[in-house]
Homo-oligomer: A and B are copies of this chain.
Amino acid sequence: MNYSEYKNYMSKIADVGHSIAVLSWDKEVYMPSGSSRFRSQQVATLSGIAHEMMTRSSFGGSLKKLMTDESLSPKEKNNVSLTLKEYNKATQFSEEFVIKRSMLTSEAFHAWVKAKEENNWLTYAPALEKLVDLKREEAKLLGNADHPYDNMLDIYEPGMTVKKLDQIFIDVRERLLPLLEKVRNLPRVDDSFLFLDYDENKQWDYGIDVLKAIGYNFSMGRQDKSAHPFTTSFSPEDVRVTTRLKKDDFSYMLWSTIHEGGHALYEQGLPTSEYGLPSGSYMSLGIHESQSRLWENNVGRDFDFWQHQFTVLQDIFPSQLGKVSFVDFMKAINKIEPNLIRTEADELHYHFHVMIRYEIEKKLIGGEIEVKDLKDVWNDMYEEYLGLRPKTDEEGILQDIHWSHGSFGYFPTYSLGSFYAAQFFEQAQNDIYRLNEKIERGDTTELLSWLRQNIHEVGHSMEAEELCNKVTGSGLQLDSFINYIEKKFTRMYEEY
């Protein structure tokens, strides 16, 4: 197998993977309620085919041989190397182990769904316990690392470690807690005008307009409705987003739309010539999330963007927003208030939600705590960091789907995304002449070009830390995020 045959083979595996994505998209968006049985079977069959193609021993042999090919460019070599890493991971486990994992995951997921319905943690705990035991085994099997949880982190954020994350979350505590203290003393924000009657069709149309405004390409994408918003890619030439609407909650639609739009801009910007290869795929979940959060928060919750958009929005909803002042609107969409639910958290408290999950996962996989103690640990940490104690399991330990899927190591990428986003956006402001003024005029073209060139087109040709250094001149740090927050709040409460 030469490089071009390898590339062709990878594109066939990608074709199968993207077909699964189409079937899954349809399932969430248009599939009739009674049709799930055969759809699940069809997805399982395609997954089996993709897995077989990826783990075929002849393919592994070809990859090892290709690694010694001196004629490959560094990018090509990196592709083969990352594919070999994936091959090794996929072939690491015995068939028995894979079947057991699939069974325990399915069991945990169904237990979680039932537990949510019953609002009862004890319905979930036994299945989760078995799954955690297996995940501890998996972490060990995945190789030597300073901490077994490192192997879990590496699945979603290649190169990320407990050592690095511990430092990041120490920073989060040290630097965000004083910030929160300051915010707590600010006058109470009235955001009630965001919860008036907003016509859903007008909301929908405005969401589409905003997606267009930030550069989402509708001739190679579309937006539909689904219960939980998501972005999915069938190729860089077909990237779809979904959103949701609530008549009496304008925020419910808009920032979720911009968030998914950010993910979609990344996928639409991946190089089509590298289809199916690491160099044609996203770099890590943290980098993916940096793109959604940059547009959602650094652009979509800051002054410049709304300098332009607020009057547009007032024209669409005059009776709801006509008499609201610009700064009151800014305060409302940036309201800081602790709550119990991660997905409803504000920009600051969000990272404490993530930190709690990170600390728990690390100790769970490391064997320092046990599933039976999880609820108490959870509730204690919420009380300590957010000053709130869940009254029910539903608003506490049962709120996330992730663990029931066996996704340990995923949560930290949410926070990483915010911190990368702030760092990238700060750099873009340095690199692009008068970017803020351009955004104020509603023009984000140059920002998107900058992201395309510096991040999107890179695909997965290097690791996140290397990219961060290359683009911003330093590794991941919290300064940019803190600066961004401080600047925004200063502007809201002092300059206006």
In the assembled complex, A491 has its CB within 8 A of some CB on chain B: no
In the assembled complex, A30 has its CB within 8 A of some CB on chain B: yes
Listed stretches A13-21, A323-331, A401-409; interface member: A13-21
Listed stretches A34-42, A291-299, A360-368, A469-477; interface member: A34-42
Q: Which listed residue (B33, B45, B48, B234) contacts A42, Cβ 8 A?
A: B234
In the assembled complex, A49 has its CB within 8 A of some CB on chain B: yes
Contact A34 B237 (CB under 8 A): yes
Contact A38 B18 (CB under 8 A): yes
Cα distance A272–B48 in the bound complex, in angstroms: 22
In the assembled complex, A32 has its CB within 8 A of some CB on chain B: yes
Cα distance A42–B16 in the bound complex, in angstroms: 7
CB contacts (< 8 Å) of A93 on chain B: these are none
In the assembled complex, A183 has its CB within 8 A of some CB on chain B: no
Taking the closest CB of chain B, its distance from the CB of A373, in whole angstroms, is: 43
Contact A15 B219 (CB under 8 A): no
Complex interface bits, A216-246 against B, C-beta within 8 A gives 1, otherwise 0: 0111111010000000001101100000000
Q: Which listed residue (B12, B38, B237) contacts A238, Cβ 8 A?
A: B38
Chain B residue with the shortest CB-CB distance to A15:
B45
Chain B residue with the shortest CB-CB distance to A25:
B26
CB contacts (< 8 Å) of A18 on chain B: these are 38, 42
Q: Which of A38-80 contact B (CB under 8 A)?
A: 38-39, 41-42, 45-46, 48-49
In the assembled complex, A482 has its CB within 8 A of some CB on chain B: no
Check A34/B220 contact, CB under 8 A, given A23-B22, A49-B16.
yes
Taking the closest CB of chain B, its distance from the CB of A267, in whole angstroms, is: 12
Complex interface bits, A318-343 against B, C-beta within 8 A gives 1, otherwise 0: 00000000000000000000000000
Chain B residue with the shortest CB-CB distance to A224:
B30
- How many of chain A's residues have a CB under 8 angstroms from any CB in B? 37
In the assembled complex, A91 has its CB within 8 A of some CB on chain B: no
Cα distance A224–B49 in the bound complex, in angstroms: 30
CB contacts (< 8 Å) of A90 on chain B: these are none
Taking the closest CB of chain B, its distance from the CB of A148, in whole angstroms, is: 36
Q: Which listed residue (B11, B46, B217, B224) contacts A19, Cβ 8 A?
A: B46
Contact A275 B235 (CB under 8 A): no
Contact A275 B38 (CB under 8 A): yes
Interface of chain A, helix or strand or loop or mixed? helix
Cα distance A174–B11 in the bound complex, in angstroms: 58
CB contacts (< 8 Å) of A222 on chain B: these are 30, 32
Check A234/B45 contact, CB under 8 A, given A218-B32, A220-B32, A222-B32.
no
In the assembled complex, A31 has its CB within 8 A of some CB on chain B: yes
Q: Which listed residue (B16, B26, B48, B238) contacts A35, Cβ 8 A?
A: B238
CB contacts (< 8 Å) of A234 on chain B: these are 35, 38-39, 42
Q: Which listed residue (B30, B38, B46) contacts A16, Cβ 8 A?
A: B46
Cα distance A238–B41 in the bound complex, in angstroms: 13
Taking the closest CB of chain B, its distance from the CB of A97, in whole angstroms, is: 23
Contact B39 A238 (CB under 8 A): yes
CB contacts (< 8 Å) of A38 on chain B: these are 15, 18, 234-235, 237-238, 272, 275
Chain B residue with the shortest CB-CB distance to A53:
B49
Contact A220 B23 (CB under 8 A): no
Q: Which of A200-220 contact B (CB under 8 A)?
A: 217-220
Chain B residue with the shortest CB-CB distance to A38:
B235
Cα distance A19–B329 in the bound complex, in angstroms: 47
Cα distance A31–B22 in the bound complex, in angstroms: 10
Check A19/B37 contact, CB under 8 A, given A31-B238, A32-B218, A32-B222.
no
Taking the closest CB of chain B, its distance from the CB of A48, in whole angstroms, is: 8
CB contacts (< 8 Å) of A272 on chain B: these are 38
Taking the closest CB of chain B, its distance from the CB of A115, in whole angstroms, is: 27
Cα distance A21–B86 in the bound complex, in angstroms: 30
Check A235/B26 contact, CB under 8 A, given A15-B45, A16-B46.
no
Contact A12 B235 (CB under 8 A): no
Chain B residue with the shortest CB-CB distance to A44:
B15
Complex interface bits, A350-370 against B, C-beta within 8 A gives 1, otherwise 0: 000000000000000000000
Taking the closest CB of chain B, its distance from the CB of A20, in whole angstroms, is: 8
21 contacts between A and B (CB under 8 A): A12-B45, A12-B48, A15-B41, A15-B42, A16-B45, A16-B46, A19-B19, A19-B45, A19-B46, A22-B26, A32-B220, A32-B222, A33-B219, A35-B235, A35-B238, A38-B235, A38-B272, A38-B275, A39-B235, A42-B234, A49-B49
The 10 closest A-B CB pairs, nearest first, are A38-B235, A35-B238, A15-B45, A34-B219, A15-B42, A34-B220, A35-B237, A12-B45, A32-B220, A33-B219
